[in-house]
């Protein structure tokens, strides 16, 4: 019976990884629509988000079924609860991709991102997409070290967000308030996608170790410093 239960738990994590891959595709296509002024692609991202919502519902149903029928305890309960929280994070990441696509759609036939700030926004998008990809791999592998490294890399995104603010608040900004608001929102959306990826990684650390992810990260850092 317990073997069946653990197979069902593994299946839930497989489903989480699949949703994460859907989110990765959503982030990528939303960025393409944004930087290319592609209204049709933006519409596709918006309409496809319902599939992420449905996948989230299936994971929740399966997790609640495990809670009610299997009555997990200790470590197993920790895994089920973490799965419920992670699927919520993934749904929010999908919603943030939709927000990016909606800005793209709103500005067509123009492109929402001015040329001089395009490299910064593009880099933020690349990092966000990479972090989602790595989150998917971490869900499947439950690799604590990779999860901790993902958390550290979030600092790059924070720096890019500060850079984008400096650009739109500079005296040289010549694109008006509307464009400034778009860039501020886009920076927030990509930053939040990265934050959710880090949160998922932290939950994997907790699932594997049963410890606070920050404590595990501090221990890893101390070990590396002493090596």
CA distance 122 to 124: 5
What domains are defined for the chain?
2-226 (1.20.58.220)
Q: What is the mean pLDDT of each run of 10 residues along the chain (227 residues)?
A: 72 93 97 96 96 94 82 76 93 97 96 94 95 95 90 86 89 90 95 95 88 64 56
**Using CA atoms, how far apart are residues 145 and 192, in angstroms rounded to an integer?**
22
The confidence score (pLDDT) of residue 153 equals 76
Burial environment of residue 120 by CB neighbours within 10 A (0 to 12, 13 to 18, 19 or more)? buried
Residue found under tokens 């200790």: 74
Enumerate residues 6+ apart whose C-beta is below 8 A from 55.
15, 18, 19, 22
Secondary structure of residue 226 in the 3-state scheme: helix
Residue 218, pLDDT score? 55
Please report, in angstroms and rounded to a whole number, the separation of the first and last CA atoms in the chain: 44
pLDDT at 75: 72
């Amino acid at each position: 019976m317990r073997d069946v239960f653990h197979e069902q738990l593994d299946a839930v994590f497989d489903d989480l990884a699949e949703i994460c891959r859907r989110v990765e595709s959503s982030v990528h296509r939303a960025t393409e629509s944004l930087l290319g002024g592609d209204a049709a692609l933006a519409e596709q991202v918006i309409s496809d988000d319902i599939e992420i919502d449905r996948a989230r519902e299936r994971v929740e149903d399966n997790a609640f079924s495990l809670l009610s029928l299997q009555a997990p305890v200790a470590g197993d309960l920790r895994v089920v609860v973490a799965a419920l929280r992670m699927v919520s994070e993934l749904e929010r990441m999908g919603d943030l991709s939709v927000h990016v696509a909606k800005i793209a759609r709103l500005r067509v036939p123009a492109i929402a991102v001015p040329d001089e700030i395009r490299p910064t926004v593009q880099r933020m998008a690349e990092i966000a997409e990479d972090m989602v990809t790595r989150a998917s791999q971490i869900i499947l592998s439950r690799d604590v070290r990779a999860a901790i490294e993902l958390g550290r890399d979030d600092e790059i995104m924070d720096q890019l967000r500060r850079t984008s603010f400096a650009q739109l608040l500079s005296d040289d900004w010549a694109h008006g308030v509307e464009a400034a608001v778009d860039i501020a929102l886009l920076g927030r959306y990509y930053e939040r996608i990265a934050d959710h990826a880090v949160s998922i990684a932290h939950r994997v650390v907790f699932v594997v170790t049963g410890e606070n992810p920050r404590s595990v990260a501090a221990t890893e850092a101390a070990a590396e410093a002493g090596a």
